[in-house]
Amino acid sequence: MKHQPTQSPQFFLTAPSPCPYVDGQFERKVFTHLVGDRAPELNDLLTQGGFRRSQNIAYRPACESCRACVSVRILVDEFEPSRNMKRITARNADLIGAEHEAEPSTEQYSLFRTYLDSRHKRGGMSDMTVLDYAMMVEDTHVQTKIIEYRRRGPDSFITGKGEGELIAVALTDRMGDGLSMVYSFFNPELEDRSLGTFMILDHIARARSAGLPHVYLGYWVNGSRKMAYKVRFGPQEHLGPKGWERYDQGSGHP
């Protein structure tokens, strides 16, 4: 009998493994492949349903005894930067982000390795080779861009590009309802610039300029110091049992 390819995605479940965010817990993920002509449409639907993309895989937590991971998206049209965020924007006014096709470079990998060795020595990505990095960037069937941040040059207003050393990089998916920040990294020696915050602020500005209502930040875990920064960008929505609900940082509840 001739096999007919299915139009519906197939989902798989990983085996339990120690959780990197909550001590004593074990994580499991449900995942599917993002390939073919329908990948962009499927990525939109799954991201709105709390999935994240890694290469050609879309995944979300499916832990048996924990619901700590919460999907977060910023409400772009209502976002108002805090005074500190305005200072960070001003501090990085000499930077410009140039958008490129999702193609890796040795310069990107060098900055990526410096970032990992400084910030995530024991993380799951710590042993990534240049080939692993290339796969992270290139292995996509959706609309993915690389944004490279460099200092402004005299002709940046014409070329849309900066000059000099590469300071920060964002790997970003453009979807029908927003931008999804897949991964970002930066020069860890420039700590006073708060480049992680700056890149999120830049993505909010890019989404607003494109008429897109959301910036997706991935998962937030209440109590995790690594992820505490995500709830500073309000107003935002969190995905819960009732769907996307507005989140009030002050109360800690929708």
In a domain, 100, yes or no: yes
Question: Which residue type is seen at 33?
Answer: H
User: What does each C-alpha distance from 133 to 15, 101, 126, 248 come to in angstroms?
Assistant: 25, 15, 11, 36
**Average pLDDT over the chain, rounded to whole?**
91
Q: What percent of the chain has pLDDT over 90?
A: 78
Q: Are residues 63 and 126 part of one domain?
A: no
Helices (H) and strands (E) in the chain, counts: 6, 14
**Is the same domain home to 31 and 100?**
no
pLDDT digits (tens, 9 = 90+) for 158-206: 787 889 999 999 999 999 999 999 999 999 999 999 999 999 999 999 9
137, 224: one domain: yes
Instruction: State the CATH number of the domain containing residue 140.
Output: 3.40.630.30
pTM higher than the cut 0.75: yes
Please say if the pLDDT value at position 123 is more than 80: no
pLDDT at residue 99 greater than cutoff 70: yes
Range of the domain at 39: 12-69
| pLDDT at residue 4, as a whole number | 45
Residues 130 and 212 in one domain: yes
Q: Are residues 140 and 188 in the same domain?
A: yes
* Structure confidence at residue 250 (pLDDT): 53
Is there a single domain that holds both residue 131 and residue 195?
yes
Q: Is residue 4 part of a domain?
A: no
Structural domain contains residue 5: no
Whether residues 92 and 64 share a domain: the answer is no
Q: Report the 10 Å Cβ neighbour count for 97.
A: 24
Among residues 22, 44, 69, the one where a domain terminates is 69
Residue 36 within a domain: yes
Residues 45 and 93 in one domain: no
* 130 domain-assigned: yes
- 39 and 96 together in one domain: no
> Does any domain span residue 233?
yes
Q: In this structure, are 21 and 93 located in the same domain?
A: no
What is the per-residue pLDDT for 194? 97
**Total tally of structural domains belonging to the chain:** 2
240 within some domain: yes
Residue 15, classified by CB atoms within 10 Å of its CB into exposed (0-12), middle (13-18) or buried (19+), is exposed
Give yes or no: residues 45 and 77 share one domain: no
Residue 98 has pLDDT above 60, yes or no: yes
Kindly state whether residues 115 and 65 are assigned to the same domain. no
